[in-house]
Structure 1
């Protein structure tokens, strides 16, 4: 991820597509370096490959745009959605450009639970709510507030390696294990998780209030600052 040269070298005669998350989620909120996604688009065009974006985490407004590709200005050929798409109900979708979608004829792409009416209704309700409550703008506002609060609150903390913010995908990379922070935050009513061992990950809701942001950030900052990374005899 982030290495165009290595990606180009991996392409061979059997390569049909490049599949990538616009922002790596489980990888620790890894934000692509400037020009990387544009470079993938160019590679796909040069070699006749499909560019597929996994937008399960970045889609449906999390980056302050409907989809992650809009945030970065790079359009894929195919996009996958799930999780927030149906507001917590099990549901997913595959979207494709018209010229690509025509190859998916009846019987060539099927799903046992495809077209589930309850999940479909939930998906429509999610889209309508995001539009009615202007949650895309709210996501951008919350993102800026999280960045400011975390950078100010954790400034000078020697075991914080980096704070990465892409919309409402937030990763705080530590030089020590993140699991203790996750457990202590849970005990105080804040649900976060750890990825890659040392990264505290936050995926807050677009409906978060200012008071909830302030309280939650305060707890996360407090628990990170309480860490004692120094070994003791």
Structure 2
């Protein structure tokens, strides 16, 4: 092996994919409810996105951001309009989008401190690792950046006690993804927004996992009626093509002038073609309404089917970003589901995370519910025998 062992890989090699299905190197088919961890929001190889990339491949792959890139402008216009914001900076990943947001907030306000939340996840670069409220992400790398402070998530009273004139921004996920698929309460998120206005700080919402239709809105903060200054997104933005974006309000433009930030590959023609085609498909009222309907059906069916299992604590989440909280280790469930032909992933040690493509069929949802119920039943039976 010539790779650093930075991933605990499953014994699975996927060689092809189409829509919600993937096939391994032994010819076995799987229903994919991981979607590359909320990346393949239109499933694998969506025809409309594949066509757009192929057309761009036959024109030009990459040019420097020193030149005009019309398709990048077109993608930015769709993205900023959906977010009800004004300007976009394209990069290559969610971590890079959050790096840009941190830099912009500090430069615009002239302040250094940024508040984030315990169990949050914002990336693995040095700044975004420092922003992340999980010790397991930070262990072994020495002193972190000292300008981040972590508060309890969904704790209104702790936010009310912040009276610090040095805060540049509060960065928050409206649903903590890696932290366990934990939705923020409306009261808490509104208090975060109010505190930003009180302090003259910026509100940064990390939508890397929740954005691009995953919860049934273009962005999850739109369920709460929030008014962010900066939004970051990636994962589902390019249907698997590596791309991220930071979106911000017009008044921030003067703080990100030429030379203040940049990205060699960010928003190049291939990435922009993938983004434009993806957003044109997802950002329609009919598509997003169907995501909401499917998400409600999936959540309801899971709750009904899992009622009575002592190991199941809760089914939570929004749209097609759901978590089954269990009182046992969730990873054995992932292994058992894979053996039965359903791919899922964990969110922390005790949450089974389900992220199907947004165009999943109702019959596939039913199939997944049946398999999840089956493996939980088997796990409980084996634990009782032990």
Q: TM-score range by the shorter chain?
A: over 0.9
Cα distance between partner residues in 2 of 1:122 and 1:54: 21
Say whether 1:164 aligns with 2:316: yes
Say whether 1:18 aligns with 2:148: no
1:116-131 → structure 2 map (5 Å cutoff) = 116-131=268-283
Say whether 1:213 aligns with 2:338: no
Which of 142, 157, 163 lines up with 1:5 in the alignment? 157
Say whether 1:52 aligns with 2:210: no
Cα distance between partner residues in 2 of 1:167 and 1:115: 28
Which of 329, 332, 335 lines up with 1:180 in the alignment? 332
1:35-50 → structure 2 map (5 Å cutoff) = 35-50=187-202
1:155, distance to aligned residue in structure 2 (A): 0.5
Say whether 1:89 aligns with 2:241: yes
Q: Indicate conservation of the 8 Å contact 2:171/2:205, yes or no.
A: yes
The runs of 5 or more residues in structure 2 that have no matched partner are 1-152
Q: Deviations over 1:178-224 (max 9, x none)?
A: 11100111112211111220111101111101111111121112111
Q: Deviations over 1:95-153 (max 9, x none)?
A: 00111233211111211212211111000000111246932111101111111110110
Cα distance between partner residues in 2 of 1:27 and 1:54: 13
1:13, distance to aligned residue in structure 2 (A): 3.8
RMSD of aligned Cα (Å): 1.7
Question: Relative contact order (C-alpha < 8 Å, sep 6+): which is higher?
Answer: 2
1:4, distance to aligned residue in structure 2 (A): 2.5
Which of 149, 153, 163 lines up with 2:301 in the alignment? 149
Match of 1:223 in 2: 375
Which of 338, 349, 360 lines up with 1:197 in the alignment? 349
Is the alpha carbon distance of 1:118 and 1:133 closer, same or farther for their aligned partners in structure 2, counting shifts above 3 Å?
Answer: farther
Match of 1:137 in 2: 289
Match of 2:116 in 1: none
- Normalised to the residue count of structure 1, the TM-score between the two structures is 0.94
Q: Indicate conservation of the 8 Å contact 2:215/2:291, yes or no.
A: yes
- Normalised to the residue count of structure 2, the TM-score between the two structures is 0.58
Q: Indicate conservation of the 8 Å contact 2:294/2:320, yes or no.
A: yes
Between 1:98-107 and 1:75-84, the stretch displaced more is 98-107
Match of 2:60 in 1: none
1:75, distance to aligned residue in structure 2 (A): 1.4
Q: Matched residue of 1:93: which SS?
A: strand
Number of positions where the alignment pairs a residue of Structure 1 with one of Structure 2: 233
The structure having more radius of gyration, on CA atoms, is 2
Cα distance between partner residues in 1 of 2:270 and 2:379: 45
Q: Matched residue of 1:16: which SS?
A: strand
Match of 1:113 in 2: 265
Q: Indicate conservation of the 8 Å contact 2:154/2:188, yes or no.
A: yes
The runs of 5 or more residues in structure 1 that have no matched partner are none
